Amino acid sequence: MKLYISNTSPYARKCRALILEKGLEGRVEIVEAAPLEDPAELQALNPLGKVPALERERGPALMDSPLICEYLDTLNDENWIPASGESRILVLRQQALADGLIDLTIGRRIELMREDEQKWDFWADRWAKGIARTLDVLEQERGQFERSVDLGALSVAVALGYLDLRYADLDWRERWPALGEFARRWFERDSFKKTAPPTGA
Ligand X SMILES: N[C@@H](CCC(=O)N[C@@H](CS)C(=O)NCC(=O)O)C(=O)O
Supply φ then ψ for residue 166, to 5 degrees: -120, 0
Which of 159/179 has CB closer to ligand X?
159
Burial of 135 (0-12, 13-18, 19+ CB in 10 A): buried
Is the separation of the CB atoms in 159 and 101 below 8 Å?
yes
From candidates 28, 35, 159, 183, binder to ligand X by CB under 6 A = 35
Task: Rule CB under 6 A: say whether 49 interacts with ligand X.
Answer: yes
In the complex with ligand X, the residue whose CB is nearer, 114 or 147, is 114
Residue 79 host element (H or E): none
Which C-beta is closer to ligand X: that of 118 or that of 143?
Answer: 118
Residue 99 lies near ligand X (rule: CB under 6 A)? yes
Smallest gap from residue 112 Cβ to ligand X (A):
16
Q: Are 162 and 198 in contact (CB under 8 A)?
A: no
CB of 64 to ligand X, least distance (A): 5
Q: 28: part of which helix (H) or strand (E)? A: none
Nearest CB to ligand X, comparing residues 5 and 135 = 5
Q: 64, 70, 141, 146: which one contacts ligand X (CB under 6 A)?
A: 64
51 belongs to the binding site for ligand X (CB under 6 A): yes
Identify which of 52, 55, 40 has the alpha carbon closest to the alpha carbon of residue 9.
Answer: 52
Residue 55 in contact with ligand X, rule: CB under 6 A:
no
Pick from 186, 156, 195, 199: nearest CA to 12 = 195
Helix axes 85-113, 65-73, angle to 10 degrees: 140
The nearest distance, CB 178 to ligand X, in angstroms, is 26
Q: Which of residues 160-199 bind ligand X (CB under 6 A)?
A: none
Which residues make up the interface to ligand X (CB under 6 A)? 9, 11, 35, 49-52, 64-65, 99
